[in-house]
Amino acid sequence: MGSPKKNESKGFFAAMSSGLSIFSNAMHRSVNGDKEIGVEVINPEGGKEDCRGGSTKRKMETRGKRYIFEPMTMLQKMAELMEYSYLLDRADECEDPYMRLVYATSWAISVYYAYQRTWKPFNPILGETYEMVNHGEMTFIAEQVSHHPPMSAGHAENEHFTYDVTSKLKTKFLGNSVDVYPVGRTRVTLKRDGVVLDLVPPPTKVNNLIFGRTWIDSPGEMILTNLTTGDKAVLYFQPCGWFGAGRYEVDGYVYNAAEEPKVLMTGKWNESMSYQPCDLEGEPLPDTELKEVWHVADVPENDKFQYTYFAHKINSFDTAPRKLLASDSRLRPDRYALEKGDLSKAGAEKSSLEERQRAEKRNREAKGHEFRPRWFDLTEEVTPTPWGDLEVYHFNGKYTEHQASAGNSDSINEVDVTSTEFNPWQYGNLST
């Protein structure tokens, strides 16, 4: 194992977000009236069935190549970052400031295994939400806070940490590939000592959009900075070379505030990460050994959507609070129909939601009103990034009050989705 390079920080000022599910956002615009680029709801098991029937057929292609939805929304994909949230618990419990960054950085890397799926998630409707409980004693809430530009905000919290993200993307098409830049901000606060961590992910590249098998790579740096102490972790995601050489490999160091390496980290983002104390030259200390800090969990075999067990958990009502918001992604009729294998209904319901969102926009504009998110507030803070400024949304605490009023937020055993209508609308439940 070669030692990773130590001085390659490029200072990306972005954040981990739902945007790491970049295949969908790179190839699509939001459903609110914009012209979509090539997606067809087809059978994931290889059949040729698609959504048919007059104007709801919505058969869409991109330069002759077909793509497929998965029964999940972008807000739900934001929650996939929480699969290994126990690593943040350990970071909060850890007294060693450098091991704290080892745990937290491993948590940030862990989601890349799930984000390599190239299925197309559904774009959230403005005002749509996703809630999750019963995982790591944590509560998670995400909301689609803006349509132009498409932006999401998320908040998670348990006794050890709070997690806050404002998510936005910028893309650059390059013929048979697309580069995706995460213009966003992610902050994690470890509660024991009040330590604030800032996460900066690498850009991502989607390869073979037109020819060949589509695959995703994220070459570049991930930087996790302790804003309280100045310590930081800098890890380099190796680019994939010929015949797959170097793909998945991640190497880097944890540095102190004086930028002296203290711990080396190495591994593969689709398998595991390990660490070892090092000297000022970045070489392993004598009488120390490489120790594993994270390993990817077992996954279902031959899953038709390549879901992890946690992805299935996200999609189920086992992680839903007792008083589920009617705006929750699980209740989307198009998503639910696709999950149940009813492809024709999925296409028709998707078209209906798009039309209803356009109708609500017309209604709102006619009244001279502006959309206001329920659970997040737009702040006056504007964060500069290399790809443009980012307006930051802040969790307003109203969701915590909502949970308290709902009483027991334990998971519900059974939900009759067919009788619970998806309703993110703020100006009446409009129909076409």
Sequence ranges of the domains in the chain: 18-319
pLDDT over threshold 90, residue 223: yes
Q: Which band of pLDDT confidence, cut at 50, 70 and 90, is reported for residue 131?
A: very high
Predicted TM-score of the model (pTM):
0.82
HSE-up of 312 (CA within 13 Å, CB side)?
9
Q: Alpha-carbon distance 152 to 143, whole Å? A: 6
Task: Give pLDDT, residue 427.
Answer: 67
User: How are the residues of the chain apportioned to helix, strand and coil, as percentages rounded to the nearest 5?
Assistant: 25, 30, 45
Q: Which helix (H) or strand (E) holds 75?
A: helix 74-79
| Mean pLDDT over the full length of the chain | 81
- Per-residue pLDDT reduced to its tens digit, 28-79: 333 333 333 333 333 334 333 333 333 333 333 333 334 478 999 999 999 9
Sign of the four-CA dihedral 242, 248, 251, 257: positive
Question: Which CATH number is associated with domain 18-319?
Answer: 2.40.160.120
115 with 186: CB under 8 angstroms? Answer: no
pLDDT over 80 (residue 105): yes
Percent of the chain with pLDDT over 70: 79
Of 35-39, 369-373, 402-406, 409-413, which has the strongest mean pLDDT?
Answer: 369-373
The predicted pLDDT at position 21 comes to 39
Give the number of residues written for the chain.
432
Q: What is the mean pLDDT of residues 147-167?
A: 94
With bands split at pLDDT 50, 70 and 90, how would you rate the model's confidence at 382? confident
- Per-residue pLDDT tens over the stretch 260-289: 999 999 999 999 999 999 999 999 999 999
Percent of the chain whose predicted confidence (pLDDT) is above 90 = 57
Q: Please compute the mean of the pLDDT values over residues 355-368 and round it to a whole number.
A: 92
* CA-derived radius of gyration, the chain: 22
Per-residue pLDDT band for 431 (boundaries 50, 70, 90) equals very low
Residue 134, CA distances (Å) to 157, 320, 398 in order: 12, 8, 20
pLDDT at 201: 87
